[in-house]
Amino acid sequence: MDQSADTNAAIWQSGEVVQTWTAETEQRERGQVAQRRLMAVLLPFGEQEAFTFLDLGAGTGAASRAILSRYPRSTAILADFSSGMMSAGEQAMQPFAGRYQYVEFDMSASGWPAAIPAALDAVVTSLCVHHLPDDRKQGLFTEIFEHLVPGGWYLNYDPVRAEDPVVEAAWQRANDHDDPEAASKRLNRTPQEQARWDNHVRYMIPLRQQLDYLRSAGFHGIDVYWKHLENVIYGGYRPG
């Protein structure tokens, strides 16, 4: 784990980072369409069923848009702590006006705002939990469990760390094969890019540890529903 200063808050509150992130949104989301759709399909709702879900660390709302598109009677609450990301998200979410709202919430804190209902039908997180220290990951999973109705589901799409350096090297070889420029980018990062990378990997932990956190929180039906190298979709439900 990287021991340098935790710059997560400063990075995601930075207007420059938000501008860069949103500029890359179209290209990035093209590579994640299948994963977002799978998350939507994994939720146990009928296509015309009405339900409310929470998208924690929602950013510009990519996960929410996939779910809202599949379930036309669903309603989303998008929680994020970056005003810049929420502002960009308001633009991206316009096709779903009236079916969503943004709520300011810093996941590194345990006090959930009153604007998030106490009983939710589902919760999703996407590419954000790995930014949290271990004790906060575990605490967040417990809080999510407590906010779900019986039968409610939680799904997380996120990168994980390999437990074996041989496995980590294999993941890197495969990623470098898929992106011929990856090795050059890795070796020639600007200071700003290096800071973002350090922030990205600082609290990343192995998959098994996170599944144990779900079990400790009380989730059932826990599985890794999709995996490609370091990227996974895992989750479970609150039993009735």
Assigned domain for 131 exists: yes
Assigned domain for 2 exists: no
Q: Closest by alpha carbon to 227, among 208, 214, 202? A: 208
How far is Cα 119 from Cα 212, in angstroms, rounded to an integer? 24
What ranges in 95-181 are assigned the alpha helix state H? 134-147, 165-178
What pLDDT score does 192 carry?
85
Assigned domain for 98 exists: yes
Assigned domain for 169 exists: yes
* Domain hosting residue 68, numbered range: 8-237
Q: What is the mean pLDDT of each run of 10 residues along the chain (240 residues)?
A: 53 58 64 94 98 96 97 98 92 97 94 96 97 97 98 98 97 95 92 86 97 98 98 97
Assigned domain for 3 exists: no
* Count of domains forming the chain: 1
Assigned domain for 163 exists: yes
What pLDDT score does 1 carry?
42
Cβ–Cβ under 8 Å, residues 157 and 235: no
Which are the contacts of 109, defined by CB distance < 8 A and separation ≥ 6?
none
| Sequence letter at residue 189 | R
What pLDDT score does 22 carry?
60
85: left (phi over 0), alpha (psi -120 to 50) or beta: alpha
Assigned domain for 1 exists: no
How far is Cα 106 from Cα 82, in angstroms, rounded to an integer? 8
CATH of residue 51: 3.40.50.150
pTM of the model: 0.88
Residue 179 CA to its chain's centroid (Å): 23
- Point out which residues pair with 80 in neighbouring strands: 104
What ranges in 46-128 are assigned the alpha helix state H? 62-70, 83-92
How far is Cα 106 from Cα 141, in angstroms, rounded to an integer? 15
* Beta-sheet strands, E only, within 33-119: 52-56, 75-80, 100-104
